[in-house]
Amino acid sequence: MKLELGNIIINDIQFTNEGSKVENGVLYVNQEEIKELVLEDSNIDTCEVFIARPGESVRITPVKDVIEPRVKVEGPGGMFPGWIAKVDTVGSGKTNVLKGAAVVTTGKIVGFQEGIIDMSGPGADYTPFSKTYNLVVKMEPVEGLKQHEHEYALRIAGFKVACFLGALGKNLTPDEVETFEFDNLVESARKYPELPRVAYVQMLQSQGLLHDTYVYGVDAKRTLTTIINPLETMDGAIVSGNCVSSCDKNPTYVHQNNRVIRELFKAHGKTLNFMGMIITNENVYLADKERSSNWSAKLAEYLGCDGVIISQEGFGNPDTDLIMNTKKIEAKGIKTVIITDEYAGRDGKSQSLADADASANAVVTGGNANQVIVLPPMETVYGHLHFVDTIAGGSANNIDAHGNITVEIQAITGATNETGFHNLSAR
């Protein structure tokens, strides 16, 4: 299986009264074209479109999703299978990417826990999306819309806009092409017999409304733990349906650019043999957790792994899934490294995870999400500022008389991301 990602480097976004296009590294966007596309859905009442550039005094909140614009140029399938495209298997052929650009969705929210992206100031250091050129799409639902319909409308609108923008690059020559190839199980084992066999176990948030992830359009909580080709993930097979405690939830952009997968490809054939990828869910009930972790261990053994990397999504309840996966895989004689983050209290002295086991002795941390930060006021806010006192990491009356916002970094989108797609590190 071979996938070519053709990166068209975007250095700016500008509005135009003409047709939307990409030219000389600039994404020109006709606002009316975006609004017309979004308002095709009768569940969305209003739509506004803004631009947020790196370094500007701009705050985006509450952030629903972040999506990278892409288009399928050659090969089977299309963008966001099960949502926009049909459910043909993706992960091969050629896909063009508007690299450096992102669609950020915002507006009135279903719950209260979506996050913040600051394009400058101290908050910008904690989110990777302060470095992207963001087309911000603010949408408001029609009055009385039910929660699930509201959530669905905002999600699919973001995907539609990302596909519209991505299609502008379909006939352009990429500035650079990244090529990824992945053999079948037999060929992989035969090709590098002397190297340790390593797989990636990705845990997908799947605890219900605002805690969902979709695989080929299917809600992950309705699936069994399974094997997926990592190239499928890189080509849009997995998308976000969640946003709570936004520091460690994976926006769609993160799934499209999963850092663990990319690092494993870099090491493949050099220091390890990348055998494959297992996706497993994070359900609420104990029987579901037992079933899913049993299958994770079974499939890791089936792949003949010497070691696995396990990335968590979220915290608290999913800590149980993380430790179950670790214990059961280690019991098979397979070494594990887990990637998580910490909720160790504002002083850093509390227990970092809600569950623990001696077998989880190789841990990469994404940071302490309870760390407190003061965000100075921005000249411009896209979205609704009044949610910042109720989002996860916020507190009542957390905006002072000068407009400073005191929050935990869990309120910042991507601050402690558990696939490594963020800016914190430990030494």
How many angstroms separate the CA atoms of 68 and 87, rounded?
20
Structure confidence by residue, pLDDT tens digits, 41-68:
999 999 999 999 999 999 999 999 999 9
How many angstroms separate the CA atoms of 139 and 109, rounded?
9
How many angstroms separate the CA atoms of 343 and 371, rounded?
9
Element (H or E) spanning 166, and its range?
A: helix 147-167
pTM value is 0.95
Among 163, 243, 247, 305, the active-site one is 243
Residue-level pLDDT at 113: 67
Q: Cα 251 vs. chain centroid, distance in angstroms?
A: 3
Structure tokens, 412? 């910042």
In this structure, is residue 339 part of a structural domain? yes
Residue 207 near residue 283, CB atoms below 8 Å: yes
In this structure, is residue 419 part of a structural domain? no
Clarify whether 243 is annotated catalytic.
yes
Residue 60 near residue 375, CB atoms below 8 Å: no
Residue-level pLDDT at 217: 96
In this structure, is residue 417 part of a structural domain? no
Residue 379 near residue 57, CB atoms below 8 Å: yes
Please choose, from the candidates 264, 262, 245, the residue with its C-alpha nearest in 3D space to the C-alpha of residue 115. 245
Evaluated on CA atoms 260, 266, 269, 271, the torsion sign reads negative
Q: Tell me which DSSP letter residue 379 carries.
A: S
In this structure, is residue 345 part of a structural domain? yes
In this structure, is residue 291 part of a structural domain? yes
In this structure, is residue 424 part of a structural domain? no
How many angstroms separate the CA atoms of 254 and 244, rounded?
15
Please check the confidence at residue 373 and state whether its pLDDT lies above 90: yes
Residue 389 near residue 396, CB atoms below 8 Å: yes
How many angstroms separate the CA atoms of 26 and 168, rounded?
11
SS3 315: coil
Confidence of residue 185 (pLDDT cuts 50, 70, 90): confident
Domain count within the chain: 1
In this structure, is residue 22 part of a structural domain? yes
Structure confidence by residue, pLDDT tens digits, 240-275:
988 778 999 999 999 999 999 999 999 999 999 999
Structure confidence by residue, pLDDT tens digits, 149-179:
999 999 999 999 999 999 999 999 999 999 9
Q: Taking residues 111-117, what's their average pLDDT?
A: 80
Q: Taking residues 37-43, what's their average pLDDT?
A: 97
In this structure, is residue 305 part of a structural domain? yes
What is the domain range of residue 221?
2-411
